[in-house]
Structure 1
Amino acid sequence: MVTVLNFVEVLVMDFTSEEKLYSINKIEFFEEWLKHEKDKRCDRLFEFISTKFNFSDITEECEREIKMKLASISSKIATRWVSSGKSKERFLNKNKLWLEGQEIEFCVRSTLPQPSTSTAELSRPGRPRKDFEDASFKTKKRRVEDLVQSRSVGELMTAAEVAARSTGQKNVARVIKDIGENPASASACLNIQQTSAVQRDRPLSNDEALAYYIDSKSTTHSYKQTRKWTMKVGHHVFPSYECIVKAKKGCYPSEEHIVVTQSRAEIELQAILNKTAERLIEAQREVVTSVLPNISPNSSFTLISKWGCDGSSGHSAYKQRFENSEDTDEFLFVYSFVPLRLIDEGNNTIWQNPRPSSTMFCRPIKFIFVKETMEMTKIETNKVLEQINNLEPTSCDLAGSEIYVKHKLLLTMTDGKVCNALTETHSSQKCYICGATPTMMNDEGRHFDSNQDNFGFGLSTLHAWIRSFECFLHISYKLDIKKWQARSSQEKASVKQRSDEIKQRFKHEMGLIVDKPKPGFGSTNDGNTARRFFGNPELSARITGLDVTIIKNFDVLLRTLCSGFEINLVEFNKLCLETRRLYLSLYSWYYMPATVHKLLIHSTEVVKTAIVPIGQLSEEAQEARNKDCRRFREHNTRKCSRLVTNRDLLNMLIITSDPLINSLREVPKKKSNKLCAEVLKLIIAPTIEPRPQIPSRPPQNEEDYLVSESSDCESDDSDIET
């Protein structure tokens, strides 16, 4: 762009200084204005003007006037720039007349060298006078002494605010104004600055660094890279990886209690329970001592935990040799337990798991690379039961006193296959509690005699969601033929056509992919899909052609069971029986699945015998742990041998569920919804709200009854093997 520069020089001489008038085209000024950031724009523009016109020996007063004028012009351009949408082309077109109008003029006064009238003055010793900004604090204090004595603090602060604003330092001016209006805010600002400086300079402890390592799903390499790059910019926050290793070692039980082979890894149950209790007491030391200030020696506590097992498939097959050629690493069978509550002798809750269905506290017992079978399940579970029968209390040190933690384990993290294997129920269509067959389940007048020994397995609430959803899905496929099985080719074609239509509508109207097999394992019918189906009963009923009332009833029953609160068993049982009668009146031709039968017939009895709310006994943590095993095995293990790989996998399962480390992590936030009015009628307000660490008031209104919209598992969905 061709710039127009007019140089007008007016010379006015006296004995001390001279004045010159300079002017610059607005277009050229705008081009330079556009190059610089807002905070440094005035200084850069002054440097540009000084260089362009070769200012020399200008007076301090003149320099201040020029900077004030530059700030004023810059502010006007900024206003026009914003109104033009920050588009250069639009700015030039919109402000063409203004840009081509009167030029910007600067009057510059500079000091002239003068012949000395005194030889003594020329030879006067001493350093040259420094500018105010470059002078020391002592010199500055001396120069402003007259101002301090002749002006009040308010006047000086106002002058500082005006000067800062005139030079474009608006934030500085705002702070000065706030402090002038409210002097007490100066102390608050100073405290914040000092606190932030301390926090900024404080490195993470070893345990905090390990908590970050877990939360960020880091690997050894990614953690080292994070530390290196933060150190490059001067932040020494992360300790070395060797410190992480030290923190990890503090999470492990003694080596003599761990057995690792090519196809399995196992920890003695007593050892992992001892370590869990010790770390839990250490994490809750302040809480325990504050709640129970007068703890006597040999005090006894009880740690209630749930445990179970689950098999999964589709794991990566590594290029590593097995000593036994029949072994494979495609299948994995895992045993775990989850601590739920720590209670004292008076049955007061000292600690409660904030996410009983999350993998945060899912502790490993053992894992085996083997396919889940009925025989394998019985053998390995009996080994764990034998260890449970021989458990001893854990001795822990608390404030110089020795306390004991007893252990109570509930076998509830199971699915239908495990329950059938342990109860020797050889058909998946048969109820393992009462032995009812499909035809018996649909007999409305039949009485079912329950085996109370099997109530201890709980209700497998995650699978209850999924199997109930699949039951309604298959009923909708066969509404045209109204038969449990399609036998003729015509009936099969009808079912196939209707199922394709329903799947397509679920995809387009709800965004759900239903009944689609996953490569290697399971299907897309997971817990979150089932919750969305029951959570929108009107739309689900319109897509499937089912009765909307029965879908709503199942939604209320399942949400009540998963709420984590105590249940009003009388009202709950009424709704179960009412829903069963409705099911048989509408769809008696479709044999009720065993899980649906267990929900409608036996759930009241099972809930009655549970020592904690049935929603806390879910198997979701065990199911979601399958995803962790895949991720840890791929990203957090060494692949030099199967022994090393299995030990690294076991170590990751231990440290990611350590109570002390998890007490430093934030509990993942989940979107929560109010429980509906129908569910609120079926639950009982607890005497202690289910929160971790400290007892608190019971819920007082509906807003206190909040549940997660989905599972509180950290994974998006659970791996369900079918």
Structure 2
Amino acid sequence: MTTFAKKLKLSGSTSRGHGAFVRNRNLIDVWIEAPRGNRKQVVYEKILSLIDITDEPSKHLKSNIMKCSQLFGLKIANKWQKVGQSRNRLLQNQVYWLDKIIYRINNDSEENTSSDEEQEPPCRSVGRPRVPFEDASKKTKRRRVAELTTDRSANELQFAVNVVSGSNHSEVSPQIFSFSTAEALALMVDLDISVRKYLLLRSVINGKAQNCLARYKELQKTKNAIIPSQFIITEISAEVDLQELLQKTAESILETMNFEERDCRIKVICKWGFDGSSGHSQYKQKFSDLENTVEFLFLVAMTPLRLIDRETNKVLWKNESPSSTLYCRPIKFLFKKENADLVRNTEKEIITKIEKLIPIKIKTKEGHSYIIEVDMMLAMLDGSVGNVLSETNSTMKCIICGATPKDMNTLAEINRPPNVDNDRFGLSTLHCWIRFFECLLHIGYRLPIKSWQVRGPENKAIVEAKKKRIQAEFRAKLSLIVDKPKPGYGSSNDGNTARIFFHNPQTSSDITGVDRELIENIAIILGVLASGCAIDMEKYASLLEEARNLYIHLYKWYNIPNTVHKVLVHGCEIIDAFCLPIGELSEDALEARHKEVRKHRLSHTRKCSRTDTNKDLMRVLLLTSDPFISSKRKVSSKKYKKCNEAVQNYLEKQENGDLGIDLGTITNDRAPSKKSYSD
């Protein structure tokens, strides 16, 4: 940009009179409306009129003004072509240039003016004009302050800033840190914000602390690097390649570890399973097949539990939140109602893929290579899936010994030999809490009639009246809503309700009339199962037998439910069937994942087509469960209760004497991260 101006003050008045000056903006309309061949002369005359020259200008002044008009014409012609000969675009895009002064003169007298012009003729500045520091780019700012930062420390520069700004504080202000892309992604996931909200947050924070949050394009690169790229997307399903999913999971786990710098073979132990849910939103999107629906969802997922060195059997990494959604990685989801055929076909399909897995080879930046083998256990199952896979027709029949409800209330051993192969279906600790709670609750309803089956209008009225009284007292004393149907979600009897029931045995006993000792024994049994620690099987077996005998002695008239029977009778042999504590194999993470599916599908997916919706949903589920991103997250902390001594007596202590367990957690979805964003 060219500027012809005398080196005088640009504002106010001088000692010799008021300054008259001409800006580029003053000449735009004249130049546009003038004929092409006569534009130079028209601009010249306009400058003369603006600087208020009535007499014939001097030769020197005339020459200077003519040069100004000529150079202005060259500049404006170039800019006029760039904006497509649009006056509005020129005014919007060239604001800084339009406000530049191209000529200034003092109008005191012709003599003084000409002498000034002769002493200080206007000159042309070469190159771009110097942009104010506040408006300069980051690169320009770094270049300008390079000389200052060469021989000066940060403390000296900060002190100089305080002196210039007039601050009385000589102390150096705390250094502003910058988020890495992984930390920014973790923050974005924790806040559950969209791209638009992240850009708004970045603009506000970076306005106060520059370069604090990374650009979203950098976040996209990191996201694409950690999310598998091979998908199979349809209108009603989405599936990720299992081999690539395990590869990305192993790489993310190694990123979180301070691993020894040596080559070795590693074994990854994972649990997997599937579960169905209902009540999902139906959007206004077309289906190619009108029989399809999105009301029901069938989700297949896996969770890494441990990394073990195959040479030394040393645990290199352990999932501290095996029941949390932080590490629950989706393999496939299908908008279809759960049924027996779907369960069997899914099991065969996933097992076939597991058999075809090859060892994972990972090479780190330091040049170390690791060979990782995967061991996947089918453990995240509920009772209905176990019945289907074990080909047990009745849900009230035990899948291990085949006992019916009438057989379960006898202390004698079942004559039929147990099917030990069905021990592999494990125990869902979440459903154990719920089923034991419902069992004692229904005993409380039937205490006035002492009968398993409620028959006759009189007995039904008595049971219904007792039920309403118990529901009202739970609502008043413990703020619990029990046995209330929830459309599309089953009932209000969930894991949190059951835990509160067992954590308050005296109050629960007073409300239901069930024996307090039985409630306390069952609370210990369930607490030990959910601890995630190794169990002293000898002591635990005696506890199960004692609780079963007490139950049959007090409430023999109420047949033991299937899940209760499985824990009290077959609990020890099921626990022995697994190499890890039964508490780490719970289905809680998969159950909680259904809630997140509803939330992410509503807020973080495109609705332009069903395939785009499913693809976005799969990507966000993979992002929120990535181990490396989860290690950077700082989820809301929850209240922890240390396990009581009664539970500790049935657990095997570690070598250091620490149990390292978390019992009594009321909210079961998450465990807080020990790392903050800026660690």
**Aligned pairs for 1:340-489 within 5 A:** 340-345=305-310, 346-398=312-364, 399-447=366-414, 449-489=417-457
Cα deviation digits, residues 480-528 of structure 1 (max 9, x gap): 1111111101111111111001000000011100001112222110101
Q: Which of 543, 547, 551 lines up with 2:519 in the alignment?
A: 551
Cα deviation digits, residues 307-346 of structure 1 (max 9, x gap): 1111010000011111111110000000000000000012
Aligned position for 2:280: 315
**Aligned pairs for 1:78-157 within 5 A:** none
Any stretches of 5+ residues in structure 2 without a counterpart?
A: 1-165, 673-679
- TM-fit CA distance, 1:222: 1.8
Aligned position for 1:709: 665
Residue aligned with 2:323, SS: coil
Residue aligned with 2:641, SS: strand
- TM-fit CA distance, 1:235: 4.4
Distance (whole Å) between structure 1 residues aligned to residue 332 and residue 439 of structure 2 = 34
- TM-fit CA distance, 1:374: 1.3
Aligned position for 2:495: 527
Do 2:279 and 2:295's aligned partners in 1 also have CA atoms closer than 8 Å? yes
**Aligned pairs for 1:320-331 within 5 A:** 320-331=285-296
Structure 1 consecutive aligned stretches of length 4 or more whose deviation exceeds 3 Å: 231-236, 704-708
Do 1:433 and 1:452's aligned partners in 2 also have CA atoms closer than 8 Å? yes
- TM-fit CA distance, 1:667: 5.8
Do 1:281 and 1:396's aligned partners in 2 also have CA atoms closer than 8 Å? no
Distance (whole Å) between structure 2 residues aligned to residue 437 and residue 327 of structure 1 = 38
Aligned position for 2:300: 335
* 1:543 partner letter: I
* 2:382 partner letter: D
* 1:539 partner letter: T
Aligned position for 2:216: 241
1:266 aligns with 2:239: yes
Q: Which of 620, 625, 628 lines up with 1:660 in the alignment?
A: 628
Cα deviation digits, residues 619-649 of structure 1 (max 9, x gap): 0000000011000000000000000000000
Q: Which of 271, 288, 295 lines up with 1:306 in the alignment?
A: 271
- Provide the TM-score with structure 1 as the length reference: 0.68
Aligned position for 2:118: none
* 2:367 partner letter: G
- TM-fit CA distance, 1:229: 2.5
Residue aligned with 1:466, SS: helix
- TM-fit CA distance, 1:228: 2.4
Distance (whole Å) between structure 2 residues aligned to residue 210 and residue 232 of structure 1 = 20
Give the direction of change, closer, same or farther, for the CA distance of 1:309–1:706 in structure 2 (3 Å limit).
Answer: closer
* 1:230 partner letter: I
Do 2:521 and 2:547's aligned partners in 1 also have CA atoms closer than 8 Å? yes
- TM-fit CA distance, 1:706: 4.6
Do 1:671 and 1:708's aligned partners in 2 also have CA atoms closer than 8 Å? no
- TM-fit CA distance, 1:600: 0.2
- TM-fit CA distance, 1:263: 0.5
- TM-fit CA distance, 1:373: 0.8
* 1:206 partner letter: T
Q: Which of 649, 659, 680 lines up with 2:617 in the alignment?
A: 649
1:288 aligns with 2:259: yes
* 2:570 partner letter: H
* 2:344 partner letter: K
Do 1:220 and 1:636's aligned partners in 2 also have CA atoms closer than 8 Å? no
Distance (whole Å) between structure 1 residues aligned to residue 268 and residue 657 of structure 2 = 23
Q: Which moved more, 1:670-679 or 1:600-609?
A: 670-679
Do 1:355 and 1:712's aligned partners in 2 also have CA atoms closer than 8 Å? no
Any stretches of 5+ residues in structure 1 without a counterpart?
A: 1-168, 177-188, 688-696, 717-722
Q: Which of 169, 175, 178 lines up with 1:203 in the alignment?
A: 178
Distance (whole Å) between structure 1 residues aligned to residue 204 and residue 608 of structure 2 = 29
Do 1:317 and 1:330's aligned partners in 2 also have CA atoms closer than 8 Å? yes
Give the direction of change, closer, same or farther, for the CA distance of 1:513–1:661 in structure 2 (3 Å limit).
Answer: same
* 1:356 partner letter: P
Cα deviation digits, residues 128-174 of structure 1 (max 9, x gap): xxxxxxxxxxxxxxxxxxxxxxxxxxxxxxxxxxxxxxxxx9x97xx
- TM-fit CA distance, 1:368: 0.1
Q: Which of 655, 658, 661 lines up with 1:699 in the alignment?
A: 658
Distance (whole Å) between structure 1 residues aligned to residue 671 and residue 308 of structure 2 = 29
Q: Which moved more, 1:591-600 or 1:233-242?
A: 233-242
Give the direction of change, closer, same or farther, for the CA distance of 1:705–1:367 in structure 2 (3 Å limit).
Answer: closer
Residue aligned with 1:673, SS: coil
Residue aligned with 2:564, SS: helix
- TM-fit CA distance, 1:234: 4.9
- TM-fit CA distance, 1:708: 4.9
Distance (whole Å) between structure 1 residues aligned to residue 196 and residue 426 of structure 2 = 42
Q: Which moved more, 1:636-645 or 1:436-445?
A: 436-445
Distance (whole Å) between structure 2 residues aligned to residue 267 and residue 218 of structure 1 = 25
Aligned position for 2:122: none
- TM-fit CA distance, 1:247: 1.6
Residue aligned with 1:683, SS: coil
Q: Which moved more, 1:274-283 or 1:490-499?
A: 274-283
1:254 aligns with 2:229: yes
**Aligned pairs for 1:569-584 within 5 A:** 569-584=537-552
Aligned position for 2:252: 279
Give the direction of change, closer, same or farther, for the CA distance of 1:711–1:601 in structure 2 (3 Å limit).
Answer: farther
Distance (whole Å) between structure 1 residues aligned to residue 377 and residue 494 of structure 2 = 25
Distance (whole Å) between structure 2 residues aligned to residue 712 and residue 531 of structure 1 = 10
Do 2:638 and 2:671's aligned partners in 1 also have CA atoms closer than 8 Å? no
Cα deviation digits, residues 648-670 of structure 1 (max 9, x gap): 00001101011121222236533
Aligned position for 2:14: none
Do 2:178 and 2:212's aligned partners in 1 also have CA atoms closer than 8 Å? yes
- TM-fit CA distance, 1:221: 2.2
Do 1:357 and 1:711's aligned partners in 2 also have CA atoms closer than 8 Å? no
